[in-house]
């Protein structure tokens, strides 16, 4: 390994999410196209043994080294992916293998920085590496993380969070955003932006940006909330209010707020706004509709309300979003 290369050790174990493992190396590998020297990253995959590891997608991966041998190296970045199981009611639960947790704790002690992608945050938490810190994870397991580890300030909204030398990333494709942020820290914003263009990504999404596409996914475990979600989707073009939803569900507004916070992790007003932003994103990506038309379709009421919602949730404007994400844009 070149003395200018930074060693990235990615933790492997049975059932690990495939994209968590393969996404970051794709970002790091593109760095060489954008730099003129030998600097960059060397990625190694470490597991308890050298036997093939079967990922959640059924794809088998060969480790490059063992945890024990990796512990003898000078690790720049320890990257911890995650794994989940889904029960009979389609509820998602993050998994933590005590043996893997122990090795992560050991390896982290010799690393310059520690990162997790998606539900890998649960492994960092079990290793005691997130106590007293603010952290994120995939939105579907955020409640589990908060319940299992009260010392952690869990924020399921951002796509990644940095807390000192510990970074946590949100779900699935946010591993690319986190990796770009690491590149920016190590090699500068301009290099990270050039890498993002190679990936055909939205340049580099800021850490505070909300996780995309959450509102339309089936996240509730109760029929009542599922019915409310579908009612919101059907009525999103109307001036839908919390009072309207409470009346539809035959509960008080206070009880409705408790239900939404417990099931979806946010109050009803925030959920309604998130669905409107999601619908607006789709309109911007796939149609030529004017902002005024999108405001009407999505129930924002005014263009200013749409602009504020985009700024708050996506950290950009509708015009900039359309320019970056429009289907077929060159």
Active-site amino acid positions? 118
Phi, psi dihedrals of residue 201, rounded to the nearest 5°: -105, 170
Phi, psi dihedrals of residue 42, rounded to the nearest 5°: -120, 120
In three-state secondary structure terms, 111 is strand
Strands 75-80, 5-11: pairing kind:
parallel
Ramachandran category for residue 18: left, alpha or beta (phi over 0 → left; psi -120 to 50 → alpha): alpha
Cβ atoms < 10 Å from Cβ of 64: 17
Handedness of CA 97, 103, 107, 108 (dihedral sign): positive
Cβ atoms < 10 Å from Cβ of 137: 32
Element spanning 187, H or E: helix 174-187
166-169 sheet: strands from edge to edge: 65-66, 40-47, 5-11, 75-80, 111-116, 166-169, 160-163
Phi, psi dihedrals of residue 308, rounded to the nearest 5°: -65, -40
Q: How far apart are CA 216 and CA 278, in angstroms?
A: 8
Question: What Rg do the C-alpha atoms of the chain give, in angstroms?
Answer: 21
User: Which tokens sit at 236?
Assistant: 């999103």
Give 303's contacts (C-beta < 8 A, 6+ positions apart).
291, 292, 295
Q: Is the distance from CB of 66 to CB of 58 less than 8 angstroms?
A: no
Q: How far apart are CA 29 and CA 193, in angstroms?
A: 14
């Amino acid at each position: 390994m070149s003395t200018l290369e930074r060693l990235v050790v990615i933790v492997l174990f049975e059932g690990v999410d495939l994209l968590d493992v393969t996404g970051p190396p794709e970002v790091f590998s593109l760095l060489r196209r954008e730099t003129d020297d030998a600097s960059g990253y060397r990625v190694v995959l470490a597991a308890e043994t050298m036997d093939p590891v079967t990922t959640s997608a059924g794809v088998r991966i060969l480790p490059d080294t063992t945890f024990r041998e990796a512990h003898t190296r000078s690790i720049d970045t320890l990257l911890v992916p995650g794994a989940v199981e889904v029960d009979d009611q389609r509820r998602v639960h993050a998994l933590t293998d005590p043996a893997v947790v122990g090795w992560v704790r050991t390896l982290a002690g010799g690393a310059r920085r520690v990162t997790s992608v998606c539900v890998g945050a649960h492994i960092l938490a079990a290793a005691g590496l997130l106590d007293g810190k603010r952290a994120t994870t995939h939105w579907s397991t955020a409640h589990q993380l908060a319940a299992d580890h009260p010392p952690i300030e869990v924020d399921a909204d951002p796509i990644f969070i940095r807390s000192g030398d510990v970074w946590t990333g949100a779900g699935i494709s946010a591993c690319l955003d986190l990796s770009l942020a690491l590149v920016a820290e190590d090699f500068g914003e301009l290099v990270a932006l050039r890498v993002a263009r190679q990936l055909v990504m939205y340049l580099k999404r800021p850490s505070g940006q909300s996780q995309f596409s959450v509102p339309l996914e089936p996240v509730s475990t109760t029929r009542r909330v599922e019915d409310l979600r579908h009612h919101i989707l059907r009525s999103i073009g109307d001036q839908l209010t919390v009072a309207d939803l409470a009346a539809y569900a035959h509960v008080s507004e206070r009880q409705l707020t408790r239900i939404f916070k417990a099931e979806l992790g946010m109050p009803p007003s925030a959920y309604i706004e998130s669905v409107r932003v999601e619908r607006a994103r789709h309109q911007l990506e796939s149609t030529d509709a004017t902002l005024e038309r999108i405001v009407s379709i999505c129930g924002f009421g005014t263009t200013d309300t749409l602009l504020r919602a985009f700024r708050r949730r996506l950290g950009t404007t509708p015009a900039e979003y359309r320019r970056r994400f429009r289907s077929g844009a060159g």
